[in-house]
Structure 1
């Protein structure tokens, strides 16, 4: 199995090093990641300037690794162009990608780009705090999760979130309860106004969702799809207002 590992935290992130190491137990691994952090870039692609790749400045313990002056989606497109790939692993992101945060996740975009190009895509994330996540402690659950997902040919696009201290694994659905986009004003050292954009959940997570699972200490595995069509509303519209 040929595996491409990418992320949105950048080539220097400890999360991508941990994922590449574990992924090497399942196949031949190549790392292609952004040269700088690209968090919350969503599915942006670079179309207005050329892309370049260079060998990674850090050692991935024998794994071929490159940095790209682009987004996670760019890295997947370029990495799969260089040679054939079977599956893309994106992460391990330092920061959860749960519920509606999937919409702007650069980590998930890497997995989505894989599916758009005909490959399997798996996004992996874990909460970030004042200190870096303990990737050594997460390793057994990352390996178990990859074994579960890589052996299932029916799953094409999957979003995985690890709590800080997992106690088990759960299949989940996306939490779609309303989120509040909050702008927090501040002042820089020169007295100039600046603003931080943050997202705060307005309601508690409903049981069976990704947010609920991580809150309960479970690894959340959510199968996704690229088709955003709302079949229920489409059917209702056709029934009420058929068009010629």
Structure 2
């Protein structure tokens, strides 16, 4: 199996090193990641300037080639699969912070996995919360390995998965996305020079429903959510068929 590993935290993140090491147990791994942090970049792609790549300054396990790119997570997948056109699976993460519920819309980690699917590959995004200290990747390793064993069983399948690991898992669950309203707040502040700046922050307004990704992680379960790129609201589409829009056809 030929695996490309990327992230949105950048080439220096301990999460990508941990993921690459575990992924190497399943096949041949190449790392292609942003040269700087690209968190919350979403599915941005670079088209106004050329992309370039350089060998990573960070050492990965023996046998793992690693490169840094002056672009976004989606750029890294596009360039990485171009340079290695035999890639079957893209793994993105392990992100330093959860990607649950509505955060999927702006997640650079998930965007890399989505870009893989757009290119006809399997894409898997992996994330874990961050507290006052870095995640314990040694503790998470058995769960990451079990998850990859499950999702990589058929590497030729074109599928999109979003995985979130609680700090101390006690099991695994198939879940759906938690769709709940968030309050978007702008918090003003000042830098050391006295100049105004602003932080954008959000927090959920409602508790998570059972069997959603947020609920699973809050209850110490690994959340595995199968996703799709088609955003069509099928129920609404059925309601709208036969509406005045269609009656205007000539």
User: What is the TM-score when the length of structure 1 is the normalising length?
Assistant: 0.98
Unaligned 5+ runs, structure 2: none
Q: How much does 1:155 deviate?
A: 6.2
Which residue of 1 is the match for residue 217 of structure 2? 214
Flag the 1:168–1:155 CA change in 2: closer, same or farther, 3 A: farther
Which residue of 1 is the match for residue 175 of structure 2? 172
Q: How much does 1:192 deviate?
A: 1.1
8 Å CA contact 1:149–1:155 kept in 2: the answer is: no
Q: What whole-Å deviation, never above 9, does each CA across 1:42-75 have from its counterpart, x for those lacking one? A: 0000000000000000110221000000000000
Q: Whole-Å Cα distance in 2 between the matches of residues 4 and 139 of structure 1? A: 18
Q: How much does 1:239 deviate?
A: 3.7
Q: Whole-Å Cα distance in 2 between the matches of residues 110 and 159 of structure 1? A: 11
Q: Whole-Å Cα distance in 2 between the matches of residues 77 and 210 of structure 1? A: 28
Which residue of 1 is the match for residue 145 of structure 2? 143
Which residue of 2 is the match for residue 129 of structure 1? 131
More deviation in 157-166 or 128-137? 128-137
Q: Whole-Å Cα distance in 2 between the matches of residues 29 and 15 of structure 1? A: 15
Q: What whole-Å deviation, never above 9, does each CA across 1:6-61 have from its counterpart, x for those lacking one? A: 00000000000000000000000000000000000000000000000000001102
Which residue of 2 is the match for residue 112 of structure 1? 114
8 Å CA contact 2:121–2:157 kept in 1: the answer is: no
User: What is the TM-score when the length of structure 2 is the normalising length?
Assistant: 0.96
Paired residue total: 244
Flag the 1:144–1:30 CA change in 2: closer, same or farther, 3 A: same
8 Å CA contact 2:35–2:68 kept in 1: the answer is: yes
8 Å CA contact 2:32–2:68 kept in 1: the answer is: yes
Unaligned 5+ runs, structure 1: none
Flag the 1:232–1:241 CA change in 2: closer, same or farther, 3 A: farther
Q: Whole-Å Cα distance in 1 between the matches of residues 209 and 73 of structure 2? A: 30
Written as runs of structure 1 = structure 2, the 5 A alignment for 1:40-51 is 40-51=40-51
Q: How much does 1:156 deviate?
A: 0.3
Q: What whole-Å deviation, never above 9, does each CA across 1:102-150 have from its counterpart, x for those lacking one? A: 0000000000000000000000000012211111110000000000011
Q: Whole-Å Cα distance in 2 between the matches of residues 155 and 199 of structure 1? A: 32
More deviation in 120-129 or 183-192? 183-192
Q: What whole-Å deviation, never above 9, does each CA across 1:146-179 have from its counterpart, x for those lacking one? A: 0001114656000000000000000000001111
RMSD (Å) for aligned C-alpha atoms: 1.0
8 Å CA contact 1:155–1:223 kept in 2: the answer is: no
Q: Whole-Å Cα distance in 2 between the matches of residues 49 and 192 of structure 1? A: 31
